Each structure stands twice: as C-alpha cells, then as structure tokens.
Chains A and B, each alone.
Chain A
Amino acid sequence: MLLRASGQQDERDYDLNTVTRGEGDSGVPHSDLLRSLTEQTIRAEWSLLADTRARAGTIMGEQQMVDALTVAAAFNGITRVADATGIPLDDNTQAVTVAMRASMGIDEYAYAVKSARFS
C-alpha cells in the first residue's frame, strides 16, 4: 500500500506486481539493483551481495547503496514482529487493498490461511 501511495505522491504508476513476481521493471528508479541488494540480503547470499554492492555503489552511488541495505535490514526484523504476533492489517489498509491483495497473491500470506495450510 505504501509503494502505491508513493506512486501517487510522485504521480507515477509503479507496477506493484513486480514486487511479488520478483522480476520486471517496477518503474522505481534502479529497481533491478534494489531487488538484487534486497534479495541477496534476505537470502543471506553474502558472496553474491559483495559483487552487487560494488556494482550498486558505482551505478547508484555508495550512499544510496548503503541506505538501500539499511532499509532491507530493518524490514527483515519488522516482518518477523508481524509474523510472530499475527497482527491484523490496520482497518484502513484492510479496506483499501482488497483488490490489490487478491491480484498480487498477498492474501495467501494471511495468518489464517497460513495457519490452515501449515498446522
């Protein structure tokens, strides 16, 4: 929802499906590099990440590369807070993301769905 809000703020139409698909041009600047930095961080692919850091530092700039990793690290923690507590979506988010969640497959991650699937 927040990426969509950023698109509205920037008057851009970002392709949100690229987030769950893991490929394609989202419209966000340097999204391919951001995706590689993020995926290699979350998958703990540290050797690959060393190369990607060097490439990203050259193309995006060192500060942008470090800040991208800073955000990835933060969300690697906060997603676990949500998953460990089963917190519901905030009411407004729940209301305005019905179609988006369905089209992007996010409803498959719902805690009730996962509880039924894995228990």
Chain B
Amino acid sequence: MYDDSPLLRDALKAAHATSWAELARPGAFLTGAQRLAAVSATRAAADCALCARQRGALSPFTVTGTHDSSVEDTTGPTLGASLVDMIHRLSTDPGRLTRAWFDEAIAAGISVETYVELVSLVTTSVIVDTLHRSLGLALPDLPEPIAGNPTGEKNPDPVDNGAWLPVLAAAQDLAESGLPTVPNIVRAMGLVPSAVTLFFRTFRPHYQLKDIKLAISQAQAEFIAARVSSLNECFY
C-alpha cells in the first residue's frame, strides 16, 4: 500500500497497512468475511443509483428501493438489506442521518454493538479510500477473509452522555486545546473497544490537535477540517 507515494509519512503507511489487514480478521460482532463485505458495500455506495436519488431528495428517507451491490457483495457473504442500507447511508449521506433512523434500525434487530463495528469499518475504509482517490492512486485490493468467530468483546460499563448510543466513560478534564483529554468523538464508539482501535489507529497519523507534524500549519489543517465538517454538514 502506497508503495509509490514517497511523500506520505511512514507512520501513516504502516498504520493503514495494519488496519487494512485487520479488516479481514473476525471482529467483535462480525466475521472477517462480513467485515470485508461491509467495506465492499462502502465502495459500491459511491456509484449507487438509489443513494444518488436519496441525496437529491429533500428528505433521504422518502426514497426507498434496493441499493446497488458490488461484485463482491453479490458473490460473497450477504450482510442483509438492513445492514447494506445502513452502510450506504453512512457512506453517501452522513449529514442527514437522524436519531429516528438509528432507533428504527436498532428496533428492527441490528444490535448496537454490530452498528458500532460497522461505523468503524465504514469510516476506516472511507479514510483509506479517500486518501487513495485524492492522490490519484488505485484503490487497494481487499485482503482475503480470515476464518473464525467474532470475539463478542464489548465494553461492560458504557455510559449515556446524550449520544444516540452508550459511549466510553471518561473523565472530562480539559486539555490545553480546550477539549477534554478524552473528547466525545473518541468516546463515541467506546461500546466496542476494537472499533475504537481500528478507527483511531487509521486516523491519528493524519492529524494532531496541536503541534501538528505535517508540512502545513495547524491553522491550515484546522481550516481543511472545518471545511470538511461544513461540506458533510457535521455538527460536532
């Protein structure tokens, strides 16, 4: 991965390679094959006709149908229509997800823990694929799935902090940045520790809250971050 990209830092390359390999292993609540199917569905969402129609609607929930599948989706393990819909909406229209949509998905039988694992898989692959595409690189091939059962590991003591789902308990001491030492964004997937590890291993080499270790300044990085948040209509 990134063999022809000398300007990417070694720590980022190593982190992404580790995360990419981890996608293929059994997770906490999904098998390796299911995890890879989730990544494949994330990729398929980019060209999905139903997603395009939903994005064009005043409310994305007024347009229903069947999402387009990738070759891997149709020949590999099935995730089921509900999980595929969740993945596609999270991939293509994240700024218009709602509490009601989340509650309905959970009421329909998707466990919160599985949802958290999916969020981690989708967002991790979004980072890796966005970086590849933005640099003009071919997307990396998916690894071969590793057999085995999900571990079932979850945080036994999550807390309610007003998010849609239980989060990691953490002290709220303020760091120099003005944010807590463990900000809510780090706590968000805390119900499933391996989901947090996968995502933040991938994310951390890209950005630091202060003394950023990049050739652009902290202010330039914050400008980009803020612009992405605005484009994606992200409140946080």
Assembled-state Cα–Cα distance A85/B98 (Å): 9
Binary CB contact string for chain A from 15 to 54 against chain B (1 if under 8 A, 0 otherwise):
0100110100010111100110111011110100110010
- Please give, as numbers and ranges, the residues of chain A lying within 8 Å of B233 by CB-CB distance: 83, 109, 114
The answer to whether B231 touches A39 (Cβ under 8 A) is yes
> CB within 8 A of A74: which of B95, B100, B119, B203?
B203
| Chain B stretch 182-236: residues in CB contact (< 8 A) with chain A | 183-185, 187-189, 199, 202-203, 206-207, 209, 214-236
Residues of A within 8 Å of B, CB-based: how many? 75
Assembled-state Cα–Cα distance A67/B178 (Å): 25
Binary CB contact string for chain A from 56 to 83 against chain B (1 if under 8 A, 0 otherwise):
0000011110111111111111111111
Binds A, one of B23-31, B71-79, B133-141: B133-141
Residues of B within 8 Å of A, CB-based: how many? 82
The answer to whether A38 touches B228 (Cβ under 8 A) is yes
B1 interfacial contact with A, CB 8 Å: no
The answer to whether A2 touches B228 (Cβ under 8 A) is no
Given contacts A46-B136, A111-B98, 14 further A-B contacts (CB under 8 A): A53-B136, A61-B215, A71-B214, A72-B224, A73-B128, A76-B126, A80-B119, A81-B188, A83-B236, A85-B165, A85-B189, A87-B161, A87-B162, A114-B97
Residues of B within 8 A of A (CB): 5, 7-8, 12, 46, 59-61, 90-91, 94-102, 115-116, 119-120, 122-124, 126-128, 130-131, 133-136, 161-165, 167, 172, 174, 177-180, 183-185, 187-189, 199, 202-203, 206-207, 209, 214-236
